[in-house]
């Protein structure tokens, strides 16, 4: 697999993991008595972290697959 193909694949996995995390937060909120404000805070924190990691990967500071 070429580096570009591998990067695209790893980026897809990254995006899928972030989407799954957002879905899990929504799922927990639906099944447990978690305040909507707390759910929104968690969701914003996940989004901010994902944005920072995405930027670092795009700048070559980390790889898409890096832990």
Please give the residue range of the domain that contains residue 17. 3-58
Q: What pLDDT is recorded for position 27? A: 79
Q: What pLDDT is recorded for position 16? A: 94
Q: What pLDDT is recorded for position 4? A: 78
Q: Is residue 36 part of a domain?
A: yes
Q: What is the pLDDT of residues 17-65, one digit of tens each?
A: 999 988 887 777 666 666 778 878 888 999 999 999 999 999 999 999 8
CA dist., res. 25 & res. 36, Å (int): 11
Looking at the structure of the chain, the number of domains it has is 1
Looking at residue 1, what DSSP letter applies?
-
Q: What pLDDT is recorded for position 53? A: 93
CA dist., res. 18 & res. 12, Å (int): 10
- Please report which helix (H) or strand (E) contains residue 58, including its range: helix 36-58
Q: Is residue 41 part of a domain?
A: yes
Q: Is residue 67 part of a domain?
A: no
Q: Is residue 65 part of a domain?
A: no
Q: Is the pTM of this model over 0.85?
A: no
Q: What pLDDT is recorded for position 13? A: 93
DSSP state string for 13-54: HHHHHHHHHHHHHHHHHHHS---HHHHHHHHHHHHHHHHHHH
Q: Is residue 7 part of a domain?
A: yes
């Amino acid at each position: 697999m070429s580096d570009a193909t591998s990067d695209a694949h790893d980026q897809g996995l990254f995006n899928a993991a972030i989407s799954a995390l957002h879905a899990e937060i929504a799922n927990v909120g639906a099944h447990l008595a978690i305040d909507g404000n707390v759910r929104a805070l968690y969701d914003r924190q996940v989004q901010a972290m994902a944005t920072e990691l995405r930027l670092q990967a795009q700048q070559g500071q980390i790889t898409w697959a890096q832990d």
